[in-house]
Structure 1
Amino acid sequence: MNTSQPTNDRFSHIPIIDIRSLVAETGDSPITTRQDRDAVAAQIGQACRKTGFFYIVGHGVDERLQQRLEQLSRQFFAQNLETKLEIGMERGGRAWRGYFPVGGELTSGKPDLKEGIYFGAELNEKHPLVQAGVPMHGSNLFPPNIPEFRETVLHYLAAMTQLGHALMTGIALSLGLEESYFCDRYTAHPLILFRIFNYPCTSVPNNGEQQWGVGEHTDYGLLTILKQDDSGGLQVKSNLGWIDAPPVPGSFVCNIGDMLDRLTGGWYRSTPHRVRNLSQSDRLSFPFFFDPNFKAQVRAIELDWVKGIHDDKSERWDRASVHEFRGTYGDYVLSKVSKVFPQLRQAVL
């Protein structure tokens, strides 16, 4: 295992990893599958150290399901604002679900040039976490005039949750851990967050000021799995500059978040990224966040080949340390999300 100092500073491209051995059927040869898994895990580990981002192919998520999701999403965003606000986030309450308009979400205190819908695991009012009033748990809001929307989103959530478990198996193996390490401790019942974002087509303002769909940031949790449309616009930060992450047919873009940075003592590092829609049409993206259980205590893994915590606080985009926090993942994510929607925070928390 490579135990040199971790770095994601100098890279010029984002690797593509075929993960079919991680999602292989159980009937495959166990010897071949384990050898293939170890090889894929090594590629994932290198990507987590060098770039924090990687494409995945061979993931097994139904292409027809993805196409249906994209078609229904375009149908939703094509509606007038009044209709979209019928499922506005203020109606979602503590579950933190529903639609927000352009400018309704903030990054580093600045409005993002996007609109979107928030979803999560579908829990009815009788679920113990809902009964207890735990934030970010509850039922989703679906557009009532698009009948297939609910079924499609829930099928997609199930497929992506399964994929998240498979990828965390690969990440565990890449660290020399048992493959069930993360499931046993953090993700048996993960916090599932899914967003559908629409970035409107915009012109360059006369004052020349940059307009970002999403400004520079890192993600909060363990793992993000992103479906992009064909427009492009995602960029990843390197010491060599901002690197484009264009759409690759049949792929998802994966990136690790601040909690995996924290768990590995900085060995795997969350990488800043941003989005700007420069195409001549609206851009859709579908980020799926696979995160620790809301009540989990996220502590550094004891890796004997990692010498202390590598904390890049002084170099990070927000000058904040992901290693100093104490508390549950729920405490952490609520402190972040409440900054993204300050008005909603006042209403529901």
Structure 2
Amino acid sequence: MTDKYSDGKLPVIDISDLNREQEIAKEISTACKENGFFYIKGHGIDQSLLDSLENKSRDFFSHPEAEKMQWRMELAKQAWRGYFPLCGELTSNLPDWKEGLYLGTELDDSHPLVQKKTPLHGRNLFPDFDKEFKSTILNYIESTTKLGHRLMELIALSLQLPRDYFQSKLTLGDPLILFRLFNYPSQPEPQTKDGKPLWGVGEHTDYGLLTILYQDTIGGLEVKSRGGWINAPPVPNTFVINIGDMLDRMTGGLYRSTPHRVRLNTSGTDRLSFPLFYDPNFFVSVKPIENLEPVENQDDSATRWDNFNLHKPFEGTYGDYLLNKIGKVFPQLKDDVL
């Protein structure tokens, strides 16, 4: 059964009942068409794991920046892993008022993709302030990736496709998994740069298939609905799910990759969020879904944050597409990754 959060905007979908798959798929279809965002409950991830990740992350970010820089992103080179300091990441050429730790699927140095120096593949840089932090992160990535598999099956069913459609054609059993720990330090008042307001994260859409977000109790996420910006506040025992650009592209605009942003945190308490990006396989070329009728006027580049036409044909793989975006987010790391 789908219920509405108290603001009456984004639906909360219970995915726990395997006997209701078709009904759940219909609820997901409606949410993807209307907002591109929804909450899920009944996800099966243990609250103790979520609490452990939050507590250990809060401890990590509490250390002085000089100590956290022992795991700075420059050290990971093309693997694109590690810590970046406050305002070290850009959105639309403005610094985000956050710091973070970039992570992903753990691959050791003997893995063939690492041997070939494939960008975005390699070892993570695990902080060692807490000896259990590494296992907590890896358990979380594994659990949430399995949840991503489940959600992509439901999305396939919502499009009246075979449940393994995305696995067989897009992820090939090996999706590109990018995981982030973000900390938004509290500020006494809003900040500006060159007369422009700063955001925790500025307006953007996500690049890949699906984002699975766990957020603490502070809040700050905002979603650009057809009627204007709406809040996506924390809801206990849920994840926030949103559609990425590649799913928008594959469905011809039927499922919407919706712009979103994060307010500057002035709550008095630092805010944590944990997005996991479940993306196409690095080497796959993303094509429209066969026999799916695209929506009319699918080119919305005039209103997009980056003025990019998602539905204009482009050559190359998802990896090519993603690497083209990286230099704009971390220009100082562009030569290390590309």
User: TM-score with structure 1 length normalisation?
Assistant: 0.91
In the alignment, residue 306 of structure 2 is paired with which amino acid?
D
**What's the CA shift for 1:313?**
1.6
CA contact (8 A) 1:265 1:309 kept: no
Partner of 1:71, secondary structure, is: helix
Partner of 2:136, secondary structure, is: helix
**Structure 1 equivalent of residue 222 of structure 2:** 235
C-alpha offsets along residues 232-286 of structure 1, whole Å, 9 cap, x if unaligned? 0000012322100000000000000000001101111100000012311100000
Match for 1:167 among 127, 146, 151?
151
| Cα distance in structure 1, aligned partners of 2:292 and 2:280 | 23
Which portions of structure 1, spanning 4 or more consecutive aligned residues, are displaced by more than 6 angstroms?
none
C-alpha offsets along residues 277-310 of structure 1, whole Å, 9 cap, x if unaligned? 2311100000000000000100000134446772
| Cα distance in structure 2, aligned partners of 1:106 and 1:244 | 22
**What's the CA shift for 1:332?**
0.7
Does 2:37 correspond to 1:17? no
Does 2:132 correspond to 1:144? no
Does 2:324 correspond to 1:335? yes
Structure 1 pair 82/267, CA: closer, same or farther in 2 (3 Å)? same
Match for 1:57 among 41, 60, 73?
41
**Structure 1 equivalent of residue 274 of structure 2:** 286
Q: Among the aligned pairs, what percent are the same residue?
A: 56
**Structure 1 equivalent of residue 162 of structure 2:** 178
Partner of 1:74, secondary structure, is: helix
In the alignment, residue 322 of structure 2 is paired with which amino acid?
V
**What's the CA shift for 1:203?**
2.3
Gaps of 5+ in 1: 1-10, 25-32
Partner of 2:256, secondary structure, is: coil
Structure 1 pair 147/52, CA: closer, same or farther in 2 (3 Å)? same
In the alignment, residue 337 of structure 1 is paired with which amino acid?
I
| Cα distance in structure 1, aligned partners of 2:71 and 2:183 | 16
Structure 1 pair 304/191, CA: closer, same or farther in 2 (3 Å)? closer
Partner of 1:323, secondary structure, is: coil
Structure 1 pair 184/280, CA: closer, same or farther in 2 (3 Å)? same
C-alpha offsets along residues 161-217 of structure 1, whole Å, 9 cap, x if unaligned? 100000000100000100000011112100000000000101225878522000000
**Structure 1 equivalent of residue 3 of structure 2:** none
Number of aligned residue pairs: give it. Answer: 327
In the alignment, residue 257 of structure 2 is paired with which amino acid?
S
In the alignment, residue 72 of structure 2 is paired with which amino acid?
G
| Cα distance in structure 2, aligned partners of 1:341 and 1:60 | 34
**Structure 1 equivalent of residue 4 of structure 2:** none
**What's the CA shift for 1:12?**
6.0
| Cα distance in structure 1, aligned partners of 2:299 and 2:133 | 43
Match for 1:80 among 48, 64, 87?
64
| Cα distance in structure 2, aligned partners of 1:291 and 1:44 | 18
Aligned pairs (5 A) from 1:1-349: 13-21=9-17, 24=18, 33=19, 36-187=20-171, 188-205=173-190, 210-276=197-263, 277-306=265-294, 310-324=298-312, 325-349=314-338
In the alignment, residue 152 of structure 2 is paired with which amino acid?
M
| Cα distance in structure 1, aligned partners of 2:296 and 2:166 | 21
Structure 1 pair 73/206, CA: closer, same or farther in 2 (3 Å)? closer
Partner of 1:347, secondary structure, is: helix
Range 310-319 or range 155-164, more displaced: 310-319
CA contact (8 A) 1:264 1:300 kept: yes
In the alignment, residue 313 of structure 1 is paired with which amino acid?
S
Structure 1 pair 46/76, CA: closer, same or farther in 2 (3 Å)? same
What is the root-mean-square deviation of aligned Cα atoms in Å? 1.6
Structure 1 pair 309/297, CA: closer, same or farther in 2 (3 Å)? farther
C-alpha offsets along residues 302-335 of structure 1, whole Å, 9 cap, x if unaligned? 1344467722122212110112232100001111
User: TM-score with structure 2 length normalisation?
Assistant: 0.93
| Cα distance in structure 2, aligned partners of 1:106 and 1:293 | 25
Partner of 1:92, secondary structure, is: helix
CA contact (8 A) 1:12 1:243 kept: no
| Cα distance in structure 1, aligned partners of 2:154 and 2:125 | 33
